[in-house]
Structure 1
Amino acid sequence: MPMAGNVRRVTQLGRVRGLRGVARLTRRRPPVDLSHHARSPLGSSVVDCVVYRDGVRVHDGGGDPAEAVERMRHKGSGFLWLGLHEPTDEEFAGIADLFHLHPLAVEDAVEAHQRPKVERYGETLFAVFKTVRHVEREEFAAGGEVVSTGEIMVFAGEDFVVTVRHGRHGSLGPVREHLESQPARLAKGPSAVLHGIADHVVDDILHVIEELEADIEQIEAEVFAENGTRVEPGRIYPLKRELLELRRAVVPLGHPLHLLAARPYPVVAAEIRPYFRDVSDHVSRATEQISAFDDLLNSILQAHLARIRVAQNEDLRKITAWAAIVAVPTMVCGVYGMNFDPMPELPWRYGYGLALGVIAAACLTLHRGFKRNGWL
């Protein structure tokens, strides 16, 4: 009988723990609000709406975020990845209600023009990344920008990821395809998507830095070429301006990535944090390269201006030498052009030829002297 009592107590304890587990699951996954706000039309801003379960893409909801979340939470597993492109306030209002997003973060996501950052609102992380793209040299030569920037906002919760992209580049299609090819990694949940986006953004930054390095090397070769003084300084200043824009996108990104790697956020899985540390190291390397490029452009600009000053001095010396040579016949002809009667050699038969000979000899002597001293 005592044994039977123990069995009953163990059975009751298991039921209690099971009920507690159900209650905990219920607290973590609140019921979905299927009001008209949650079902407000998203228009053309939706890029993709997919549910992932165990790292595999499933088709729940048929593209309707509210229905997809309802089915996903009813099954008790998986997460939703909703991608948007430049949604309006009306289009994003239903999504904000559906996932209980903070109004401040929603305002930042819709308005854009934010600096890179990571903020926590309750159990939701809000991250901002600056995307960059290198403009082709043909466009740059036509007066366009060297670096074009955009933004990606990420809302990461326990069972959802909402990405909001601003700009004509920075598509997340390659990120989605890469993650879907690694189901074990994608099974880690929204933090795997957050890391994939951060890694993709930093890879694009490194690619832009490589392209900028090629542009800087080309200008450096032209400046130090034999005819380097013909390079317009207007080609160097746009590079410095766009390098400053790139610095604004890269330097502030280091601190948020360090927080994601070091601070235990509930949304970020422990297995994913070391990957953020690797991305943070890449950002540090990019920051160092940008600083080095800025110093190199300053040196190139100073060297170019110095070569221009040297060329101007050489031109000034040549002008001065020729002016000195021309001054000899000007002086002699000016003296004999005063037409005074008692002037030397005027009555002499060979006076005209002697005057021309003296002029020619003086000019040749001055020319040889300037040539020997490098003035001509």
Structure 2
Amino acid sequence: MPRTRCYRDGVLTDEDFPIDQLSEHLGEGAAVVWVDLLAPERADLELVADELGLHKLAVEDAAQGHQRPKVDRYAEHDFLSAYSARLDVQSGKLVTGEIHAFITPTALVTVRRDDSFPIEALTARWDGDRDLCRFGVGALVHGLLDLLVDGHFDAVESLDDEIEQLEDLLFDARPHDQHVQRRSFELRKSLVQLRRVVLPMREVVNTLMRRDIGLIPEELLPYYQDVYDHVLRATEWTESLRDLVNTILETNLTIQGNRLNVITKKVTSWAAIIAVPTAITGFYGQNVPYPGFAHLSGFLTSSILIVLLSGALYITFKAKDWL
């Protein structure tokens, strides 16, 4: 069912009224309404569009979805597209929720494709900032943007924590090559997806702050500027984490190469040790008499040579850290 609210002078006066009564509520002076539509039917969208005079192109974008974060300006209203973001720590995947908003001078209409966007947190934020609600639709839009950007920040912070754990695994005494590679790929994919969500938000917030739009009163400009600063920080943080993930992948490959060199040295050292007794036994196995041939002294001599030379090679390789 659509959710509705009506504010007058910043005070919540009515809630959960039918959407066909929007015009009646807006007809009462100094009223601001909010309508939330979850996976709406086309008929519900068209009903709201008729009540508020929404442009058909904006209604079509909201119905089809899969829009990039943006703000489109029309004669009677603005159209906002944005995404919430949350990192699933277990799988490393980024969970996003698409939300659209029709912004008129007296109404805010949010359209969600699924229930992934925390709408209860949005209403709680509005209820917690009742002093701002007296500034009308601009205050409602600020609460929406602030919640979205805070979610982006939380997602970036979660990614940062997961990447730090990758760094610990990278230099662990026990190799975790396969896990590090798989996890790095998952986090890098999530970072690319998050960048597509966060980066356009600079343009979105900057457009809404323009004075020629007239959406934001002077009293709300510091609040929007704060949101804009958070967007910039989230964008810069995302870019730095993407470089860090690439560095982890390159470092992991370097460590694998170094580990392979160590293994090669060890195998070569053991091959050299094994070659000594092979050479001695092969030499004494010739069909010619040799000192101690067919006597116990010859066997003892060859055994002592094998032990001494092999031991000397082992000590030498061990001192050079080849074993």
TM-score with structure 1 length normalisation?
A: 0.79
Residue 348 (structure 1) shift: 4.1
Q: Distance in 2 between matches of 1:73 and 1:299?
A: 56
Residue 236 (structure 1) shift: 1.5
Query: Is the Cα contact below 8 Å between 2:209 and 2:216 reproduced in 1?
Result: no
Structure 2 match to 1:301: 249
Q: Distance in 1 between matches of 2:122 and 2:176?
A: 46
Query: Is the Cα contact below 8 Å between 1:81 and 1:161 reproduced in 2?
Result: yes
Q: Distance in 1 between matches of 2:45 and 2:262?
A: 66
**Counterparts of residues 122-141 of structure 1 (less than 5 Å):** 122-136=75-89, 139-140=90-91
- Mean alpha-carbon deviation: is it higher for 233-242 or for 317-326? 233-242
Q: Distance in 1 between matches of 2:217 and 2:35?
A: 20
Query: Is the Cα contact below 8 Å between 1:55 and 1:180 reproduced in 2?
Result: no
1:282 and 2:230 correspond:
yes
Query: Is the Cα contact below 8 Å between 2:269 and 2:317 reproduced in 1?
Result: yes
Query: Is the Cα contact below 8 Å between 2:170 and 2:180 reproduced in 1?
Result: no
| One-letter amino acid of the counterpart of residue 9, structure 2 | D
Residue deviations 1:158-196 (CA, integer Å, cap 9, x gap): 221100123442222222222234333212211211111
Query: Is the Cα contact below 8 Å between 2:208 and 2:215 reproduced in 1?
Result: no
**Counterparts of residues 361-372 of structure 1 (less than 5 Å):** 361-372=308-319
2:290 to 336, 344, 348: 344
Structure 2 match to 1:10: none
Query: Is the Cα contact below 8 Å between 1:54 and 1:183 reproduced in 2?
Result: no
Structure 2 match to 1:320: 268
Query: Is the Cα contact below 8 Å between 2:102 and 2:110 reproduced in 1?
Result: yes
- Mean alpha-carbon deviation: is it higher for 322-331 or for 228-237? 228-237
1:259 and 2:207 correspond:
yes
1:115 and 2:68 correspond:
yes
Structure 2 match to 1:58: 13
Structure 1 match to 2:111: 164
SS at match of 2:6: strand
Structure 2 match to 1:78: 31
Residue 200 (structure 1) shift: 0.8
Structure 1 match to 2:130: 183
Q: Distance in 2 between matches of 1:293 and 1:269?
A: 36
Residue 126 (structure 1) shift: 0.5
Residue deviations 1:188-218 (CA, integer Å, cap 9, x gap): 2112111110011011111222222221222
Residue deviations 1:337-362 (CA, integer Å, cap 9, x gap): 56x3x342434442222222222222
Q: Distance in 2 between matches of 1:180 and 1:232?
A: 44
SS at match of 2:80: strand
Query: Is the Cα contact below 8 Å between 2:69 and 2:81 reproduced in 1?
Result: yes
| One-letter amino acid of the counterpart of residue 344, structure 1 | Y
Query: Is the Cα contact below 8 Å between 2:20 and 2:47 reproduced in 1?
Result: no
Query: Is the Cα contact below 8 Å between 1:250 and 1:287 reproduced in 2?
Result: yes
**Counterparts of residues 239-258 of structure 1 (less than 5 Å):** 239-258=187-206
Q: Distance in 1 between matches of 2:296 and 2:147?
A: 94
C-alpha distance 92-201 of structure 1, shift in aligned 2 (>3 A): same
Tell me the number of residue pairs that the alignment of Structure 1 and Structure 2 aligns.
Answer: 321
| One-letter amino acid of the counterpart of residue 144, structure 2 | I
Structure 2 match to 1:272: 220
Q: Distance in 2 between matches of 1:204 and 1:229?
A: 31
Q: Distance in 2 between matches of 1:188 and 1:50?
A: 15
| One-letter amino acid of the counterpart of residue 87, structure 1 | P
Residue 335 (structure 1) shift: 4.1
Q: Distance in 2 between matches of 1:308 and 1:244?
A: 26
- Mean alpha-carbon deviation: is it higher for 348-357 or for 117-126? 348-357
Q: Distance in 1 between matches of 2:57 and 2:216?
A: 22
Q: Distance in 2 between matches of 1:349 and 1:223?
A: 56
| One-letter amino acid of the counterpart of residue 173, structure 2 | E
Q: Distance in 2 between matches of 1:251 and 1:296?
A: 18
- Structure 1: give runs of 5+ residues left out of the alignment: 1-43
Q: Distance in 2 between matches of 1:106 and 1:205?
A: 26
| One-letter amino acid of the counterpart of residue 56, structure 1 | V
SS at match of 2:200: helix
Q: Distance in 2 between matches of 1:135 and 1:349?
A: 74
Q: Could you tell me the percent identity over the aligned residues?
A: 32
Task: Give the structure with higher Rg (CA).
Answer: 1
Q: Distance in 2 between matches of 1:220 and 1:268?
A: 44
SS at match of 2:219: coil
2:303 to 356, 361, 364: 356
Q: Distance in 2 between matches of 1:355 and 1:184?
A: 97
Residue deviations 1:2-59 (CA, integer Å, cap 9, x gap): xxxxxxxxxxxxxxxxxxxxxxxxxxxxxxxxxxxxxxxxxx4x2x111111111222
Q: Distance in 2 between matches of 1:73 and 1:112?
A: 28
| One-letter amino acid of the counterpart of residue 33, structure 2 | L
| One-letter amino acid of the counterpart of residue 64, structure 1 | P
Structure 1 match to 2:171: 224
SS at match of 1:59: strand
Instruction: Let me know the Cα RMSD of the aligned residues.
Output: 2.1
